[in-house]
Structure 1
C-alpha cells in the first residue's frame, strides 16, 4: 500500500528502471498486468516502453555507442622462421590505437577475452 500526502505528481523513471521492468515482463510465464501492478504502473505504459525499446528510443545512456574500428587483413608472413604448427593455428591479432597488440587463438574463452579487453580500455 502506498499513501500519498500532498499533491500527486508524475514519477520520473530512469532508463535503467524501465529496462529492468521490461526484462521482468519478458520472462517466460510473466503476465503484463501482474508486472504493471507490482510496479504500480498501467499496462499501457508498459506497452509504450516496449514500443520505445523496439524503436531504439529507450536505452541506457551511460553505455558507449557501438562503433566500427578499422581492420587490416594481411597475408604478410611475420619475420623469422615459420613453423608448421604456427601456420595451422589460426590467430586473430587485435591492435589497439595506443599500440597494444593482443593475439588470440581459436581456443580462447570468450569471457576471458572480454575481461582482457575491458581492462585494456581503461
Structure 2
C-alpha cells in the first residue's frame, strides 16, 4: 500500500477570491498570464471565471460585470466654459460601440441604454 502525503492540489475558491483575481487580470499593466503565474493558477481557469463574470454566472447570478473606463486628461486649474463648449465623456464598449455622454445628456437614459446593451 502506498500512502501519499502532502498538500492537496485542488483548491477551493470563494466568489470573492474569483472576482478579485479577475479584476487583478484587468488592472493596467497586468495580464491573465501574469496573474496565473503569481497565484499558481491555470490560465484557462482565469479565462473561465472571466467568461462566467461576463455572463452573470459568477456570484450566484448577480450581474457584476466590469466595463473598462478611460477618462481623458483634464487641464489643471479652473476652466471657464462659455456655453458653446459641451464637455462630456465618451464610453467605448468592448464590442467597439461608442456612447458619448455630454453635460446635457439625461443620465437615466444612459443607465437604461447601458443596461440594455449588457444583456
- TM-score, normalization by structure 2: 0.44
**Larger RCO, structures 1/2 (Cα 8 Å, 6+ apart):** 1
Which has the larger Rg?
1
- TM-score, normalization by structure 1: 0.43
